[in-house]
Amino acid sequence: MGPRRGRPPPPHLDLDRPHPISSGRGDLLLVARARLLLASLSPRPLPKMTDPVSYDLIVIGAGQGGGPLAGAVAEAGHDVALLERRHVGGTCVNRGCTPTKTMIASARVAHLARRAGDYGVETGDVSVDLETVRQRKRDIVGMFRSGSRSSIEEKDTLDLIEGDGRFVDPNTVEVTLNGDANDGGPRALTADRIVINTGTRPAIPPIDGLDAVDFLTSTSIMELGAVPGHLLILGGGYIGLEFGQMFRRFGAEVTIIDRGEHVLGREDADVAGALEDILREDGIRLLNETSMTAVEEAGGTITAHLEGDDAPARITGDELLVAAGRRPNTDALNPGAAGVATTEQGYVQVDARLATTADGIYAIGDVTGGPAFTHVSYDDYRVLQDHWLHGGDRTTEDRLIAYTLFTDPQLGRVGLTEEQARSRGLDVTVAQMPMTRVARALEVDETRGLMKAVIDSTTNRLLGAAVLGIEGGEVMSVLQTAMMGDLPVGRLRAAPFAHPTLAESLNNLFAGLDLGPAAERRADG
């Protein structure tokens, strides 16, 4: 395919060496940019399928990996098309991290207001105006979304195209533009390099009657204008637990239904058990090892039919949140036309360099089926940027994964769990300490939770850690940094952390360890 009319031929995007920033294009870039602005804003639409537009790179999805990648490649002088079906910023900005953490902040204020008497402060009755909470969430999402869009639109060689993309062949993407901009039919874009960053959406399990119930997802629940009397939640993962505690603090009765032996099935049982104790203390009902077999709705009441040794046969509620996992957004992408292989669930298969089974096509973020975290998606962008623009050899192998569950207290996790380490046959020592032994936690009267570190007994290096406690994600990040720097735990035990901080508690966490030969090691606490 030829280059776009009015431009010199685009430079080749070389995967094997750094590519210098193109120069000398001057006013041609401005002319072409004006001609190929987002179709809905431009006086001239993108060419139809019979007249393809050629780019150096097409990125499908303006998420937390795709947006920065498109911007970096454009800043290096290449012509880039960035396709987005709805809002730039991806799940994180629009439906995930930003809105949920904004609402969690409101829930925490309500919780602390109810606890004000514990600190000698009188507040009176506490109520929550969910419409105001919702508007605050919308305002912050709008601000973040606007910032993401501005960052994209300021790039001279980057075209933001709003619509749905699907593969026609390994080098061609058919675009159905949003709204009236699609008059005249689909358009065609071509490129030697294409990146898939289409993310995931809530998975809806095949439960009898569910399709006839007006249930909530992790997106629609944030648009409620009133607190439900009783919120049923299907799923005891990250999403279910965060929303469960949030709405309990807003004033709802909450029941969480989960098939696992304990919530957060990938965590060690003692850590998950400690979090369950906290949730129950907050008044949340947990039904573990329980399945929802059918559901129905009548007169504004939802009735769920359950199976489980300790579960009631049925339970009623005002709203039902389905938080039973995610599914990839590849079903409309037509990946097979490009030779892109997917898993049985629809996730795009990639190697350590994020390359798919089709030459020149890559995938990043949640759509690959890897850890579904914003920072992982962003790190995928770094892998491709390093490879394409700097001649580096960075890969996803041995990437240290950290994450934080924003319950209150937070659960910060990095590296291996104890169960994972032992299943690999590693000789490990475990250091564990309740938050009641953390001075700063006592001072602010937030002592729920525990700290746990898994240590390689032969090297004295951390293998992983869990911090369930006040600002657990921040304390975990200190341990993550130690792991990245290959520090022995003895250095943390003796580090002069500022007093009185939460990080200082790491002195005590490791204080009971005998750091002698493996046979003599022990953990105290």
DSSP string, 272-316: HHHHHHHHHHTT-EEE-S-EEEEEEEETTEEEEEEE-TTS-SEEE
Q: Would the annotation count 366 as a binding residue?
A: yes
Q: Is 165 annotated as a binding residue?
A: yes
Give the span between the Cα atoms of 196 and 454, in whole angstroms.
36
155 is known to lie in a ligand binding site: no
3-state secondary structure at position 81: strand
DSSP annotation of 247 reads H
Triad 116, 117, 122: Cα angle to 5°? 80
325 has binding-site annotation: yes
Residue among 96, 107, 114 nearest 133 (CA): 107
Q: Which residues are catalytic?
A: 499
Q: Torsion over CA of 63, 467, 247 and 146, rounded to 10 degrees?
A: -30
Was 241 annotated as part of a binding site? Answer: yes
CA diameter of the chain: 77
> Contact, 50 vs 25, CB < 8 A?
no
**Is 281 a known ligand-binding residue?**
no
- Is 235 annotated to bind a ligand? Reply is yes
DSSP string, 499-510: TT-STTHHHHHT
The encoded tokens of residue 196 equal 């898939």
Q: Which region holds residue 471: left if phi is over 0, alpha if psi is between -120 and 50, else beta? A: left
CA 77-82-86 angle, 5° bins: 155
412 is in an annotated binding site: no
Instruction: Work out whether the CA dihedral 152, 65, 3, 85 comes out positive or negative.
Output: negative
Please tell me whether 48 is known to bind a ligand.
Answer: no
Contacts of residue 261, defined as CB under 8 A and 6 or more positions apart, other chains included, come to 269, 288, 289
- Long-range pairs, 437-441, Cβ under 8 A, ≥24: 437/505, 437/508, 437/525, 438/469, 438/502, 438/505, 438/508, 439/499, 439/500, 439/504, 439/505, 440/470, 440/500, 440/501, 440/502, 440/504, 440/505, 441/469, 441/470, 441/502, 441/505
Q: Are strands 187-196 and 172-177 parallel, antiparallel or unpaired?
A: antiparallel
**207 assigned binding-site residue:** no
Structure token digits, residue 304: 């769920």
The response to whether 308 counts as a known ligand-binding position is no
The verdict on whether residue 101 carries a ligand-binding annotation is: yes
Q: List residues forming the annotated binding site for NAD(+).
A: 235-242, 325
| Annotated binding-site residue numbers | 101, 165, 235-242, 325, 366
Residues annotated within the binding site for FAD are: 101, 165, 366
